[in-house]
Structure 1
């Protein structure tokens, strides 16, 4: 589908759903993600221009448990309506729109590239505040009620480990460090807690930052109901530090800074050992995702060199797992 047809169908979607005459201007494709393509455009209605972002599902197979784009848009809309700092969802595509799965949200200015967030001189002041801001954003997400949310999967640690185990076994490669991590997790299953909304992929690279710090949370495709401390563990993965390994929280902050700000925002104590469980789980999960990307290249399913490069990162996750299990920083 070329840009002119896409713009026409978008305008038609607005006409059908919002009963509003809208013109689409300046449609520009941005870099495509692993499972979606992203377009920027200006929505013109009543003489007013507003920059918008369209995300469309490309039809490419996703790793297990990813939400479809419609559900992702509904979650983001509910989060925005609840006061969470996330872009306003303007339109959720329907079958009649002829554009597949997707949604349109307001454009939010700022930086999303993890390497720039951890290094850019103009973001130095922001980095000093980000860990605390992330903790408060997570607290806001975790206290959200279920009203307005679409049906979401309810996850338990044992089932999540089992699903990851089956995905790993499907590649036909047994990795001793992964076997150690699976055993470590099975021996330390945390007690059941009240399930809350979990973002599922809250990390550096999945939010927008400007000179004042955190502006907006993005990428809700892994949202589910579960243990809120899963988000804190995932936030601390070495993979999301972008080389700044001495700063466990996104390459810009310390664990205690994150935990203490979260405790202050929620008036609850953070169980450090439970967060460690989730950090080990998250590292293993990322390792299996790296296997999945690498396997797509090996089998020719997605013959892109980027997939091969991510596949090579399995070895990094093995080292990270050993360090976490042995308590090495």
Structure 2
């Protein structure tokens, strides 16, 4: 029995228990997205109703030790539950523990929209969305950073200097000095920003991990790099030129301006930051 059939069998058994004996799992398809986890789309059909779902699953269904900052799928599902009602994000339907018929995984509702950055930044279908997206991202980031840390699962703590040390160690191990990196590392060490209280940091908030529909931000995805850290990290990561996808004139994700994002971020309950305070984190990014 192939992987598809094994997962289908396990999901069918779950659907019968969760929705009733007349529920059937249809159109189970592996999606191309998801660099570190499997992502599957499926529908659960029952009389008069279709539930559109997404399955996030550990590759092969079994966790293995990885040299990665990623949190486990169970922790990611827990975070989505913490965000429910305050951040636009999928709703977790079911968590499957390691050793289940499906393996380590969780199910969430499927949210319609687009994740491909170049389409979001170019296509006329998203013209109105692009006008709203900067403010929506500012509000979403403020909501993420406002989730009480006492409510969160156990997460790693990672500040700017922690990350700089990690990446400098990797860089030095290559023994291939490059002036641009030497200058950047020296500047970052000489201009460390004042610390702020740690908050929940999404860790990878950018186009590609956001679902956008014709009205703007529909959901924040891929929380697997979440940690406790500096809120400016999330803001700056969205500004890194790699995530502008050729639209470098717009500092925020290729679609907006940082002053507008920071204004909405503060109005939505976030700390007051100047654009200059984001520079250090963007250079680190």
The answer to whether the superposition gives a TM-score over 0.5 is yes
- Number of residue pairs aligned between Structure 1 and Structure 2: 280
Maintained 8 Å contact 2:142/2:270: no
Q: 1:267 to 1:53 in 2, by over 3 A?
A: closer
Q: Tell me how far apart the structure 2 counterparts of residues 168 and 63 of structure 1 sit (CA, whole Å).
A: 16
Q: Counterpart of 2:176 in 1: which secondary structure?
A: coil
State the shift of 1:46 in Å. 6.5
Q: Tell me how far apart the structure 2 counterparts of residues 267 and 218 of structure 1 sit (CA, whole Å).
A: 21
Provide Cα deviations, 1:50-108, integer angstroms capped at 9, x if missing partner: 0101112226886631112221121112212x421100011122123143332211000
Aligned position for 1:70: 74
Aligned pair partner of 2:159 in 156, 160, 170: 156
Q: Tell me how far apart the structure 2 counterparts of residues 46 and 166 of structure 1 sit (CA, whole Å).
A: 58
Aligned position for 1:126: 129
Maintained 8 Å contact 1:57/1:101: yes
Q: Tell me how far apart the structure 2 counterparts of residues 98 and 169 of structure 1 sit (CA, whole Å).
A: 44
Aligned position for 2:145: 142
Q: 1:251 to 1:191 in 2, by over 3 A?
A: same
Q: 1:90 to 1:183 in 2, by over 3 A?
A: same
Q: 1:137 to 1:63 in 2, by over 3 A?
A: farther
Gaps of 5+ in 1: 283-329
Q: Tell me how far apart the structure 2 counterparts of residues 247 and 98 of structure 1 sit (CA, whole Å).
A: 47
Q: 1:267 to 1:145 in 2, by over 3 A?
A: closer
1:35 paired with 2:36, answer yes
Q: 1:198 to 1:122 in 2, by over 3 A?
A: same
Q: Tell me how far apart the structure 2 counterparts of residues 122 and 47 of structure 1 sit (CA, whole Å).
A: 31
State the shift of 1:34 in Å. 1.9
Q: Tell me how far apart the structure 2 counterparts of residues 172 and 46 of structure 1 sit (CA, whole Å).
A: 64
Q: Tell me how far apart the structure 1 counterparts of residues 205 and 177 of structure 2 sit (CA, whole Å).
A: 29
1:224 paired with 2:227, answer yes
Aligned position for 1:233: 236
Q: 1:20 to 1:83 in 2, by over 3 A?
A: farther
Deviates more, 1:150-159 or 1:21-30: 21-30
Deviates more, 1:69-78 or 1:91-100: 91-100
Deviates more, 1:221-230 or 1:141-150: 141-150
1:110 paired with 2:140, answer no
State the shift of 1:198 in Å. 0.8
Deviates more, 1:86-95 or 1:160-169: 160-169
1:177 paired with 2:204, answer no
State the shift of 1:32 in Å. 4.2
Deviates more, 1:255-264 or 1:44-53: 44-53
Q: Tell me how far apart the structure 1 counterparts of residues 218 and 259 of structure 2 sit (CA, whole Å).
A: 22
Aligned position for 2:197: 194
Q: Counterpart of 2:219 in 1: which secondary structure?
A: strand
Q: Tell me how far apart the structure 2 counterparts of residues 67 and 148 of structure 1 sit (CA, whole Å).
A: 16
State the shift of 1:275 in Å. 1.0
Maintained 8 Å contact 2:16/2:24: no
Q: 1:37 to 1:131 in 2, by over 3 A?
A: same
Maintained 8 Å contact 1:14/1:91: no
1:215 paired with 2:224, answer no
Aligned pair partner of 1:91 in 94, 107, 123: 94
Gaps of 5+ in 2: none
Q: Tell me how far apart the structure 1 counterparts of residues 171 and 104 of structure 2 sit (CA, whole Å).
A: 28
State the shift of 1:130 in Å. 0.6
Q: CA RMSD in A?
A: 2.2
Q: Flag the structure with more relative contact order, 1 or 2, with Cα contacts below 8 A and sequence separation at least 6.
A: 2
Aligned position for 1:51: 52
